[in-house]
Amino acid sequence: MDMAYKRKERIVTDTLIKEYCMWLQGCEKSKETIKRYQYHLCLFMRYLNGRPASKEIVIMWKGVLRENMAPVTVNGALAALNGFFNYCKWLDCKVKFLKISRNTFCSENKELSKTEYKRLVNTALKKGNERLALLLQTICSTGIRVSELPFITVEAAVKGKAEVDCKGKVRTVFLTRQLSHMLIWYAQKQHIKSGMIFITRNGAALDRSNIWRDMKALGKEAGVTQEKIYPHNLRHLFARSYYDSEKDLSRLADILGHSNVNTTRIYTVESGYNHVRQLESLKLLVEVDNRIPLLL
């Protein structure tokens, strides 16, 4: 009877999810993390359709996710679920994450090049969207997350650095002299005397979805495929450019605000095309008379 009663108690409800999200706020989790966890938990609740949660059902749901989502997204959903189970003390419902081997190379179809990035900026300027052009340059020249744009303020531009508070960590993001001048000039032109620079007409911080939509609109005219156009790809371009120049992964992790260098490695993965060019530059093949290449 006790076991049956305990199983009946394991009903996932809107109220329980909201309580968990409130608890996450108290743990100082970021708004984006909480929003993402809530989304996955609501998906799981609809999958349960009133049934009590159990490890068997979670494993079945995991299988459904694997058929419809990328492995990284599946693990994100499982992280939300396992955290929820910890909160509810339903520990026997927890499941293992998918094992994902680290990709040695990234897809060329998704890697944004410097040339393409500059075409996006120039297209935004051509269309008269100075705010978007400056936003793209701010993210790409600092490596900040799109969610960290509210920390780019008039005061930060004057100081040449911004104190960014994200995921419970505060780090200093330096702004180059040129970027600072551009930000101050734009703020003055828009009559923004203090506070956030990238704002809507009502003075609110720009929404991630609006930024994404505006960026996508540039693609066709700029000659950049839609797959490459999303805010986080600018952060990746910064990371690759910095690493190509400095070859300092640990320092890059600090700049990006990563606690784990292995996370930073993902940002510095290059395309297979670049790797082939590097191999060719080694010049370890020699042409012979019959034009068959032989290894030296």
pLDDT in tens, the chain (296 residues): 344 434 457 999 999 999 999 999 999 888 888 999 999 999 999 999 999 999 999 999 999 999 988 888 999 999 999 999 999 999 999 999 998 766 555 556 678 999 999 999 999 999 999 999 999 999 999 999 999 999 999 999 999 999 999 867 889 999 999 999 999 999 999 999 999 999 998 999 998 888 999 999 998 899 999 999 999 999 999 999 998 888 898 999 999 998 888 778 877 766 555 666 667 777 777 766 655 554 44
**287 domain-assigned:** no
We report the CATH number of the domain holding residue 216 as 1.10.443.10
Judgement on whether residues 222 and 254 belong to the same structural domain of the protein = yes
In sequence order, what DSSP letters do the residues of 57-117 get, joined into one string?
HHHHHHHHHHHHS-HHHHHHHHHHHHHHHHHHT-GGG--PPPP-PPPSSB-TTTPPPHHHH
Rg (CA), the chain: 24
Judgement on whether residues 118 and 87 belong to the same structural domain of the protein = no
Judgement on whether residues 124 and 80 belong to the same structural domain of the protein = no
Distance, CA of 254 to CA of 259 (rounded, Å): 8
State the pLDDT at residue 7: 43
Residue 163, helix vs strand vs coil: strand
For 21-26, the CB contacts below 8 A with 24+ separation are 23/87, 24/83
Judgement on whether residues 78 and 209 belong to the same structural domain of the protein = no
Q: Please choose, from the candidates 121, 113, 141, 145, the residue with its C-alpha nearest in 3D space to the C-alpha of residue 214.
A: 121
**294 domain-assigned:** no
**48 domain-assigned:** yes
**283 domain-assigned:** no
Can you read off the two tokens belonging to residue 84? 């929820």
State the pLDDT at residue 247: 86
Count of structural domains within the chain:
2
Judgement on whether residues 118 and 83 belong to the same structural domain of the protein = no
CB 78 within 8 A of CB 95: yes
In one-letter notation, the amino acid at residue 239 is A
Domain that holds residue 51: 8-93
Judgement on whether residues 72 and 122 belong to the same structural domain of the protein = no
